Amino acid sequence: MGELNHDTLPLWEGWQRRELRFAHCGACGTWFHLPRRICPQCWSEEISFDEVRGTGRVISWSLPRQSPDQPVVITALVAMDDAGDVPFLARMVACEPAEMRFEMPVVVDWRDDGGVTYPQFRPSGATVAAPAGGAS
């Protein structure tokens, strides 16, 4: 985990309440990620960190090597539907690597790990039977 700072904190605090938030310009409506308090489009500094439904589509993914006793981790780059397609990086769960598809619809899910809550994604319509991918 890198160091939190005043720019990243609003998103991270949202995660702790299971809210997925992204930076959103109050002047021109542009969504952007990573969070900061100036709009890259119109330079307005009226930025809010607004909650989204958390649906999106897979842009790409990779399968980082794990030790043999650990579950498979799928690291997915997802374009967020209701946040202007901003890319967001998180784990995929409730899905085997062979089931991954480009543009597949996914929805945000949550994982508790060491007292911290993180967003992750699952395929739309899939349910999560057990926490996956998270070493405690």
- How distant, in Å, are the alpha carbons of 37, 65, 120 from that of 50? 13, 34, 18
Q: Compare residues 65 and 125 and give the one whose CB is closer to another protein.
A: 65
Is 30 a binding residue for another protein by CB under 8 A? The answer is no
Residue 36 or 44 with smaller CB distance to another protein: 36
Does residue 136 interact with another protein by CB under 8 A?
A: no
**28 binding another protein? (CB under 8 A):** no
CB-based contacts of 92, cutoff 8 Å, min separation 6: 58, 61, 74, 75, 76, 100, 106, 120, 121, 122, 123
Please say whether the beta carbons of 130 and 69 come within 8 A: no
Rounded least distance, CB 54 to another protein, Å? 15
Check if the beta carbon of residue 20 is closer than 8 Å to that of residue 108: yes
The helix/strand/coil state of 126 is coil
| 48 makes contact with another protein (CB under 8 A) | no
DSSP structural state of residue 11: H
* Of positions 48, 89, 99, 112, contacts another protein by CB under 8 A: 89
Assess 87 for contact with another protein (CB under 8 A): yes
Q: Where does this chain bind another protein (CB under 8 A)? A: 1-5, 7-8, 11-12, 33-35, 59-65, 73-75, 77, 79, 87-91, 97, 102, 111, 113, 118, 133
